[in-house]
Amino acid sequence: MEVTIRRARTTDVRAVRRLIDTYSRDGILLDKPTVTLFESVQEFWVAERDDNGAVVACGALHVMWEDLAEVRTLAVDPSCRGFGVGHLLLEKLLQTARWLGVRRIFCLTFEVPFFAKHGFVEIGELQETDDGTTDPAAIATDVYEELLRSYDEGVAEFLDLERVKPNTLGNSRMLLHL
């Protein structure tokens, strides 16, 4: 299957909505209001089939801080899974992160093996370890204080705040250093 990975347009939001609905019914993705999808369309990339122009996958890169971003809403149409479309889309998101200057990419996922193939590792609590080294997801105190001001639930998940515990979906927190 040949696809083109491109920036999402407002006309793609209905297809993104369909992809989210496919996975949110089973609790794999968080449902998002359609208005939120339109508001964040500039964060999305889509995979479009070359043979018929259908949007068959989507994914977003949401910048949280100077060197930190989250991969969000990565979804592939079930009929197109296993063709490498998700891998191509994730690579485009990582390329975009590098271009923006982001050095750490966070995600919440049930697809641990998929993200691990791209170098993501599961992360634990954001704290110093027993041997005095810092957790790879740790952030400076002043940045932490600024991030606490965010209303974004993805930021709250990254910070592992009590208000989002237990994890709303039961998925894994993963991090990649670029």
Written as one letter, the residue type at 31 is D
**pTM (2 d.p.):** 0.80
Confidence (pLDDT) at 159: 54
Whole-number Cα distances in Å, 10 to 15, 23, 28, 99 = 10, 21, 24, 23
Containing H/E element for 105?
A: strand 104-109
Paired sense of beta strands 121-122 and 104-109, if any: unpaired
| Per-residue DSSP letter, 80 | G
67 within 8 A of 103, measured Cβ to Cβ: yes
Confidence (pLDDT) at 171: 77
**DSSP secondary structure letters along 29-78:** S----HHHHHHTGGGEEEEEETTT--EEEEEEEEEEETTEEEEEEEEE-G
User: What span, in angstroms and rounded, lies between the C-alpha atoms of 65 and 147?
Assistant: 8
Residues in the chain: 178
114 within 8 A of 176, measured Cβ to Cβ: no
Confidence (pLDDT) at 131: 46
Confidence (pLDDT) at 137: 52
Domains of the chain: 3-177 (3.40.630.30)
Query: pLDDT tens digits, the chain, 178 residues: what are they?
Result: 899 999 999 999 999 999 999 999 988 888 899 999 999 999 999 999 999 999 999 999 999 888 889 999 999 999 999 999 999 999 999 999 999 999 989 888 889 999 999 999 887 644 444 444 445 455 555 555 555 555 555 555 555 544 444 455 567 888 898 9
User: What span, in angstroms and rounded, lies between the C-alpha atoms of 173 and 153?
Assistant: 13
